[in-house]
A = this chain, B = another copy of it.
Amino acid sequence: MTISDGVGRRPGGRSARVRAAVRAATLSELAEKGYTALTVEGVATRSGVHKTTVYRRWGGIDGLIADALEMASEEPWPIPDTGSAAGDLRALARLVLTGFTEAAEAPVSTAFIAAATQSPAVADALRDFFASRHDQAARIVTRAVARGELPDGTDPAEVVRAAVAPLYYRLFVSREPVDATVADRAADAALAAARAGTLGQVGSG
């Protein structure tokens, strides 16, 4: 992500520049220090925006994280298009894996999940973020249905959830390691479940 590139380009003048600078600083601070060490002071210093302005406009840490998540929701997710549902779902699961294994991304991704357990505002922002991701990834499933790889009436979001849920389960619940094998297996299981018709739209059969 090259978030700082957005600074100054957006319409809205000073207010928009301040917001972009603070959002970028929040992400950088999270990446370097993680959620528990994030402070309004740190974001203020890094962004060059006065601390009282940050408090007034964002309220505190949770408001900063919710706003950074909103920015992340607006970024397009590079949805794979490999020509097959099997390839697309594996690539999607590996994309999620990368978000939690790459040094630059992992602390930020982890911070979003952690902060949502503490703050209703962050939880709401996280819900919107994943709704956007489910929407974007739905095309993997609609293409697969169009190609005849998956049954009519397959629920796209449900296939996406199934393909990535085992990664999050290991990361945040059972606290087990994740790797490409785990990602591929989750994707393959989601595909098999969808092929068997277990991931249809609720009410459609």
Which A residues are within 8 Å of any B CB, using their own CB?
35-36, 110, 113-114, 116-118, 123-124, 126-127, 130-131, 134, 158, 161-162, 164-166, 168-170, 172-176, 181, 185, 188-193, 195-199, 202
Q: Which residue of B lies closest to A130 (CB)?
A: B174
* Bound-complex Cα distance A161 to B127 (A): 23
Shortest Cβ distance from residue A90 to the other chain B in the assembled complex, whole angstroms: 12
Contact A161 B170 (CB under 8 A): yes
Q: Which residue of B lies closest to A187 (CB)?
A: B198
Q: Which residue of B lies closest to A197 (CB)?
A: B192
* Bound-complex Cα distance A110 to B117 (A): 8
Shortest Cβ distance from residue A194 to the other chain B in the assembled complex, whole angstroms: 8
* Bound-complex Cα distance A172 to B170 (A): 12
Shortest Cβ distance from residue A173 to the other chain B in the assembled complex, whole angstroms: 5
- A-B pairs with beta carbons under 8 Å apart, 29 shown: A35-B117, A110-B117, A124-B175, A126-B173, A126-B175, A127-B175, A130-B176, A134-B174, A158-B185, A161-B169, A161-B174, A162-B166, A164-B169, A168-B169, A168-B173, A172-B172, A172-B173, A185-B199, A188-B193, A189-B190, A189-B193, A192-B192, A192-B193, A192-B196, A192-B197, A192-B198, A193-B193, A195-B196, A196-B196
* Bound-complex Cα distance A174 to B130 (A): 5
- CB contacts (< 8 Å) of A199 on chain B: these are 185, 189
Most B CB contacts (10 A, CB to CB) among A166, A193, A202 go to A193
Contact A118 B36 (CB under 8 A): yes
* Bound-complex Cα distance A14 to B168 (A): 41
- CB contacts (< 8 Å) of A114 on chain B: these are 117-118
Contact B134 A173 (CB under 8 A): no
- CB contacts (< 8 Å) of A189 on chain B: these are 162, 189-190, 193, 198-199
